Chain A
Amino acid sequence: LAKTTQPISMDSYEGQEVNITCSHNNIATNDYITWYQQFPSQGPRFIIQGYKTKVTNEVASLFIPADRKSSTLSLPRVSLSDTAVYYCLEDTGRRALTFGSGTRLQVQP
């Protein structure tokens, strides 16, 4: 199964931009890169997905370089409610998805 690498934890303050980078050293040609967010006592929820370049939605932006060996999730102007665990995945569909340990983001006031 595909394996990604991301930092274990990050700290930030309210109002700052947070960038979480994930390594995809063995990503397959057909894989999309997907990020999920998990709050305590809840299941993860989908944030954003992309294949190459930049994708933006109402929650976040996702930057993927041309070689697709990494991806960066960007959260603009974080608030306390963005404190959560963030997971990056490689997703080709029709295959079991592997979640790693994720990045635990702690936002301070």
Chain B
Amino acid sequence: GAGVSQSPSNKVTEKGKDVELRCDPISGHTALYWYRQRLGQGLEFLIYFQGNSAPDKSGLPSDRFSAERTGESVSTLTIQRTQQEDSAVYLCASSSVGGGVNSPLHFGNGTRLTVT
């Protein structure tokens, strides 16, 4: 079946512009995560959605970052007034529960964001 889909796969933007990144999770997955990965580094947690619960926004690095999710479907990550340090791959993952036994995270291939 279809996996996690992210769009666009690549995005180049000018410093100061806003960008919106999209994630289509696997159908039926209640949990959705956003991570950021800078070149050569590990994954940095950004935000976590679980069903109708309030999202865990503890990883968002500044108020320029926000994310929304409509029900248990599509999520968008918005970065306002982009800065060069925002350049990274933004990864989305979903799972049938919040991870745990028999419900691993399924990742998309990410959106590579370059801020010039």
- B73 to chain A: closest CB distance in Å? 19
- Is residue A13 contacting chain B, with contact meaning CB distance below 8 A? no
Q: Is the CB of A42 within 8 A of B109?
A: yes
Q: Is the CB of A46 within 8 A of B105?
A: yes
Question: Chain A contacts of B45 at CB under 8 A?
Answer: 1, 96-99
The answer to whether A96 and B104 touch (CB under 8 A), given A101-B42, A102-B42, is no
Question: Chain A contacts of B104 at CB under 8 A?
Answer: 34, 36, 46, 49
- Count chain A residues whose beta carbon lies closer than 8 angstroms to a beta carbon of B: 25
Q: Is the CB of B50 within 8 A of A94?
A: yes
Question: Chain B contacts of A100 at CB under 8 A?
Answer: 42
Question: Chain B contacts of A92 at CB under 8 A?
Answer: 99-100
- B8 to chain A: closest CB distance in Å? 15
A25 to B105 CA separation, bound complex (whole angstroms): 23
Which residue of chain A has its CB nearest to the CB of B49?
Answer: A96
Of B11-19, B80-88, B90-98, the one touching chain A: B90-98
Query: B107's contact among A34, A45, A102, by CB below 8 Å, is which?
Result: A45
Q: Is the CB of A43 within 8 A of B93?
A: yes
Max chain A Cβ within 10 angstroms of own Cβ: one of B59, B91, B100: B100
- B62 to chain A: closest CB distance in Å? 18
**Chain B interface residues toward A at CB < 8 A:** 4, 31, 33, 35, 41-43, 45, 48, 50, 56, 58-59, 91, 93, 97-101, 103-110
Instruction: Pick 24 A–B contacts, CB within 8 A, sort by A.
Output: A32-B100, A34-B99, A34-B104, A41-B109, A42-B110, A43-B91, A43-B93, A44-B93, A45-B106, A45-B107, A46-B105, A93-B97, A93-B99, A94-B31, A94-B97, A94-B98, A96-B45, A96-B59, A97-B45, A97-B99, A99-B42, A99-B45, A100-B42, A101-B41
